[in-house]
C-alpha cells in the first residue's frame, strides 16, 4: 500500500486511532500535526476540493480517503486484517 498521510491534531482521539491502525497493520504513514505545521481546515479544503469540517483527513498516496471511519472501511476493502 502507498504511504498513508494523516492530517490531524494532537488532541484528536480519531487521529490517534488512525495512527494506531497504520502501526497495527504495518503501513507506512506520515502524521502531520496541523497545529504545529500551521495548516488550517480551509487549507485542506483547497487541497481536497471540498469543505473539511473534521479531522483526521487521510490520504493514501494522492487519494483522499476521508476521516477515520472512511479509512477503516478502506482498509477492510483492501483486505487489511487488523482494524
- Three cell numbers written together for 78: 483492501
Residue 38, phi-psi category: left (phi > 0), alpha (psi -120 to 50), beta (remainder): left
pLDDT tens series, the chain, 83 aa = 899 999 999 999 999 999 999 999 999 999 999 999 999 999 999 999 999 999 999 999 999 999 999 999 999 998 875 54
Task: Show the cell assigned to 47.
Answer: 487541497
Q: Is the pTM of this model over 0.85?
A: yes
Yes or no: say if 56 and 6 are a contact pair by the CB < 8 Å rule.
yes
Amino acid at each position: 500500500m502507498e504511504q498513508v498521510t494523516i492530517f490531524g491534531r494532537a488532541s484528536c482521539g480519531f487521529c490517534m486511532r488512525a495512527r494506531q491502525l497504520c502501526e497495527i497493520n504495518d503501513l507506512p504513514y506520515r502524521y502531520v500535526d496541523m497545529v504545529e505545521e500551521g495548516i488550517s481546515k480551509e487549507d485542506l479544503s483547497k487541497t481536497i476540493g471540498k469543505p473539511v469540517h473534521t479531522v483526521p483527513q487521510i490520504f493514501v498516496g494522492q487519494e483522499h480517503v476521508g476521516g477515520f471511519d472512511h479509512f477503516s472501511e478502506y482498509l477492510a476493502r483492501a483486505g487489511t486484517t487488523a482494524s
